Amino acid sequence: MKIVFFGTPFFAAFNLEFLFKKKHNIISVISAPDKEKGRGKKIIPTQVKLKANSLQIEVKTPLSLENEKFISYLKTLDADLFVVVAFRKLPKSIWTLPKYGTVNLHTSLLPNYRGAAPINRVLINDEQETGLTTFFIDDKIDCGEIISQEKINLSDDTTAAQLHNIMMKKGSKLLDKTIDLIQNNNFSKSKQENKLAEKKAEKLTKELTKINWKNDAKEIHNLVRGLSPFLSENEILKDISICPAAWFYITNENGKKIRAKLILSTYSNQTNSNFLSIETDQKSFLKINLNNGSIHINKIQLEGKKVINISQFLLGHKVNKKWIIS
């Protein structure tokens, strides 16, 4: 079965390589155009383009998906199936081309959490379960007929980066299984029940990622982990589109206002001091008291600096009662 793969970030690149190693016949790869990055405006290709090149698969990066030459190119491929992982919306003139249609891998249990940021939203909303869905693309975003799903249990401390990597690995296996089912004509389709689509996964905004210290301690903790790039003690996910991190301001005793990202936290429902007062031993812990609880900062990143443990932060900063958190 001839397959064309559509994708952009590392999540998609991992899936591409997995399917390639599973001997699926990927005849072409479509990704986003190269971007300029940094002061030197260095041209940076997408992770999918880099992976396709390393696998020696032809790759196209059209500026417009509506371009007639590009659509003609896709028609000449005469593909049996298009596979989409973390790519922009395809026009009908494209997703209707293949013999078997176009399959998308979505990082939620549809119909819930349709949209751009399901990984983040399930954690921010303190869900105990999420999952993956493969479905056939149709006119509406994330509304097509479901082929297969897999559930994933969540802990109270799962971060966005950790869930991203879990889904990346499980998703590639689910996609492999889905392609085999289609190839062997051994699958069933189920329509999504729109009345069950109670929760959405809207795109993340700067306003959402700013910590509101008036919220409950657990609510703030869920925001932090739902945006956190933390993978393990010495590993951070660098894709800020997935893990932009929750942020706030610190104003020191000299009046200097510093933007900081809260990378890893724990919380308590108890507080024993005034709202937004800071408690610290100047060595290993820093706690922010709230109206109905407290947040312990475990990892932090000051603007323009690296992610560090709170003990490293306290080595370089003498925190006192004049500091203001906002």
Q: What parts of the chain have a pLDDT lower than 50?
A: none
Given this model, what pLDDT does residue 175 score? 98
Residue-level pLDDT at 218: 96
Whether 50 and 186 map to the same domain: the answer is yes
- 224 and 170 in a single domain? The answer is no
Contact 148, 178 (CB under 8 A): yes
Closest CA to 326 of 238, 271, 247, 250: 250
CA distance 158 to 156: 6
Predicted TM-score of the model (pTM): 0.96
Q: Are 155 and 286 found together in one domain?
A: no
Tens digits of residue pLDDT in 223-255:
999 999 999 999 999 888 899 999 999 999 999
Quote the pLDDT of residue 273: 83
And the tokens for 89? 């919306």
Are 297 and 316 part of one and the same domain? yes
16 and 148 fall within a common domain:
yes
Domain closes at, from 169, 184, 200? 200
**Residues 139 and 220 placed together within one structural domain of the fold:** no
- The answer on 64 and 34 residing in a single domain is yes
Looking at the structure, do residues 259 and 236 belong to the same domain, yes or no?
Answer: yes
Smallest Cα–Cα separation from 143: which of 94, 90, 97, 197?
197
Given a contact cutoff of 8 angstroms between Cβ atoms, the answer to whether 82 and 19 are in contact is no
Say yes or no: 39 and 147 in one domain: yes
Q: What is the pLDDT of residue 195?
A: 87
pLDDT at residue 41, as a whole number = 80
| DSSP tag of 210 | B
Domain boundary among 167, 200, 233: 200
> Would you list the DSSP string of 261-320?
EEEEEEEES---S-TT-EEE-SSS-EEEEETTEEEEEEEEEETTS--EEHHHHHHH----
pLDDT at 321: 85
CATH classification at residue 310:
3.10.25.10
CATH number at residue 170: 3.40.50.170
Q: What is the pLDDT of residue 40?
A: 76
Domain end point (choices 149, 174, 200): 200
Do 174 and 213 lie in one domain? The reply is: no
Number of domains in the chain: 2
Single out the residue of 156, 243, 152 nearest to residue 204, CA to CA.
243
Alpha helix segments (H runs only) across the chain: 10-21, 47-54, 68-77, 92-95, 118-124, 160-183, 206-209, 217-227, 310-316
Residues 52 and 146 in one domain: yes
Q: Which domain holds residue 234?
A: 206-325
Residues 170 and 248 in one domain: no
pLDDT at 108: 98
pLDDT of residue 284: 95
Q: How are beta strands 278-280 and 257-268 bridged, if at all?
A: unpaired
Burial status of residue 59 (CB atoms within 10 A of its CB: 0-12, 13-18, 19 or more): buried
